[in-house]
Amino acid sequence: MTHDQQDLSAFSLLDLFRLEADGQARQLTEGLLRLESGASDASVLDGLMRTAHSIKGAAAIVGLQVIVQLAHAMEDAFIAAQSGTLELHPARIDVLLAGVDQIAQVSSMTEASLADWMAGHGADIDRAVNAVRSLGTLTVAVEGHDAPGEQAQDATPEPATSNVAPDDHGTASLPPLPLPANAARAGVAADELLALASETGVNAHKLAALNASLQRFKRQQSAMLQSLGQLQEAVAASREPHLIEQAALVAARAEPLKRMLQQHMADAELHERRATLLSTRLVDQVLVLRMCPFSEGVHAFPRMVRDLARKLGKQVQLIIEGSDTLVDRAVLACIEAPINHLLRNALDHGMETPDQRSAAGKPELGTIRLAARHRAGMLEISISDDGRGIDRERVRSAVVERGLGSAAMAAALSPAELMEFLFLPGFSMKGSVTEISGRGVGLDVVHEVVREQNGTVRLESTPGLGFRTSITLPLTQSIVRALVVQVQGEAYAIPIAKVERVLRVAQSAVHTLENKQFFELDGVHYGLAAAAQVLELGQSPPAAELAVVAVGTGEARYALVVDAIIGEQSLTVQSLEPIFGKLRNVSAGALLDDGSPVLVLDVADLLLSIDKLIHAGALQHSARQDQGDARTECRILVVDDSLTVREMERKLLAARGYRVDTAVDGMDGWNMVRGGAYDLLVTDIDMPRMDGIELLSMVRQDARLHKLPVMIVSYKDRPEDRERGMNAGADYYLAKGNFHDATLLDAVFDLIGPASA
Indicate the average pLDDT of the chain: 78
Top-ranked range on mean pLDDT: pick from 99-108, 128-137, 464-473, 530-539: 464-473
466 with 484, same domain: the answer is no
> Is there a domain that residue 494 lies in?
yes
Poorest-confidence range of 6-15, 295-304, 345-354, 740-749?
Answer: 6-15
Contact call for residues 34 and 47 (beta carbons, < 8 A): no
Strand partners, 598: 590
For residues 31 and 48, what is the distance between their CA atoms, to the nearest angstrom? 6
Residue 383 has pLDDT above 90, yes or no: yes
Question: Could you tell me what percent of the chain has a pLDDT over 70?
Answer: 82
> Domain limits at 30?
3-166
Contact call for residues 601 and 494 (beta carbons, < 8 A): yes
Beta strands 466-474 and 490-495, pairing class: unpaired
Residue 650 has pLDDT above 90, yes or no: no
- Residue 185's pLDDT is 47
Mean pLDDT, residues 269-278: 79
Contact call for residues 548 and 565 (beta carbons, < 8 A): no
395 with 334, same domain: the answer is yes
Q: What is the DSSP letter of 656?
A: T
Sheet of 366-375, strands arranged across: 316-321, 366-375, 378-385, 466-474, 456-462
What's the CATH code of the domain at 56? 1.20.120.160
Nearest by Cα to 124 from 169, 156, 90? 156
Mean pLDDT, residues 590-600: 80
595 with 510, same domain: the answer is yes
> Is there a domain that residue 577 lies in?
yes
Residue 217 has, within 13 A of its CA and on its CB side, a CA count of 13
642 with 748, same domain: the answer is yes
Q: What global pTM score does this model have?
A: 0.54
> Is there a domain that residue 84 lies in?
yes
Residue 193 has pLDDT above 90, yes or no: no
Last residue of a domain, one of 575, 606, 628: 628
Comparing 638 with 5, the larger pLDDT belongs to 638
For residues 374 and 486, what is the distance between their CA atoms, to the nearest angstrom? 30
Poorest-confidence range of 178-187, 491-500, 635-644, 730-739?
Answer: 178-187
- Residue 572's pLDDT is 77
Poorest-confidence range of 177-186, 270-279, 401-410, 568-577?
Answer: 177-186
Tell me the one-letter amino acid at 591: L
467 with 483, same domain: the answer is no
Residue 708 has pLDDT above 70, yes or no: yes
Residue 160 has pLDDT above 60, yes or no: no
Residue 371 has pLDDT above 90, yes or no: yes
483 with 591, same domain: the answer is yes
Last residue of a domain, one of 166, 198, 227: 166
427 with 511, same domain: the answer is no
Residue 186 has pLDDT above 60, yes or no: no
For residues 439 and 419, what is the distance between their CA atoms, to the nearest angstrom? 20
pLDDT-derived band at 681, boundaries 50, 70, 90? very high
Mean pLDDT, residues 555-560: 81
> Is there a domain that residue 300 lies in?
no
Comparing 438 with 66, the larger pLDDT belongs to 66
Determine the 3-state secondary structure of 593 from DSSP: coil
Mean pLDDT, residues 576-599: 77
Residue 370 has pLDDT above 90, yes or no: yes
Determine the 3-state secondary structure of 581 from DSSP: coil
Nearest by Cα to 683 from 314, 700, 399? 700
For residues 712 and 696, what is the distance between their CA atoms, to the nearest angstrom? 9
CA dihedral 546, 552, 557, 559 (to 10 degrees): -10
234 with 360, same domain: the answer is no
pLDDT-derived band at 156, boundaries 50, 70, 90? very low
**Packing angle of the helix pair 122-133, 90-107 (nearest 10 deg):** 150
At residue 647, φ and ψ (nearest 5 deg) are -70, -35
**710-740: b (≥16 Cβ within 10 Å) or e:** bbbbbebeeeebbebbeebbbbbbbbbeeee
CA dihedral 104, 108, 111, 113 (to 10 degrees): -100
Q: What is the DSSP letter of 324?
A: T
> Is there a domain that residue 647 lies in?
yes
At residue 550, φ and ψ (nearest 5 deg) are -85, 130
- Residue 188's pLDDT is 54
438 with 495, same domain: the answer is no
User: Which residues, 6+ apart, have CB-to-CB distance to 361 below 8 Å?
Assistant: none
Nearest by Cα to 547 from 491, 597, 506? 506
63 with 157, same domain: the answer is yes
| Residues 323-360: tens digit of each pLDDT | 888 888 888 888 888 898 899 888 988 899 999 999 99
pLDDT-derived band at 381, boundaries 50, 70, 90? very high
Poorest-confidence range of 392-401, 435-444, 574-583?
Answer: 435-444
> Is there a domain that residue 79 lies in?
yes
For residues 666 and 641, what is the distance between their CA atoms, to the nearest angstrom? 8
Residue 235 has pLDDT above 60, yes or no: yes
What is the 3 state secondary structure string of 419-462? HHHHHCCCCCCCCCCCCCCCCCCCHHHHHHHHHHCCCEEEEEEE
Comparing 478 with 151, the larger pLDDT belongs to 478
What's the CATH code of the domain at 730? 3.40.50.2300
Measured CA to CA in angstroms, residue 520 lies from 361, 568, 743 at distances of: 44, 25, 37
Q: Please report, for the chain, how many H helices and E strands are present, in that order.
A: 25, 23
What's the CATH code of the domain at 389? 3.30.565.10
Comparing 484 with 497, the larger pLDDT belongs to 484
Last residue of a domain, one of 593, 628, 663: 628
> Is there a domain that residue 40 lies in?
yes
pLDDT-derived band at 623, boundaries 50, 70, 90? low
- Residue 518's pLDDT is 82
| Residues 291-308: tens digit of each pLDDT | 888 988 888 898 889 889
Q: What is the number of structural domains in the chain?
A: 5
> Is there a domain that residue 154 lies in?
yes
Contact call for residues 546 and 510 (beta carbons, < 8 A): yes
- Residue 662's pLDDT is 85
pLDDT-derived band at 609, boundaries 50, 70, 90? confident
For residues 554 and 500, what is the distance between their CA atoms, to the nearest angstrom? 11
- Residue 8's pLDDT is 53
459 with 528, same domain: the answer is no
Residue count of the chain, please give it: 757
Mean pLDDT, residues 77-81: 84
Comparing 165 with 338, the larger pLDDT belongs to 338
**329-346: b (≥16 Cβ within 10 Å) or e:** bebbebbeebbbbbbbbb
192 with 274, same domain: the answer is yes
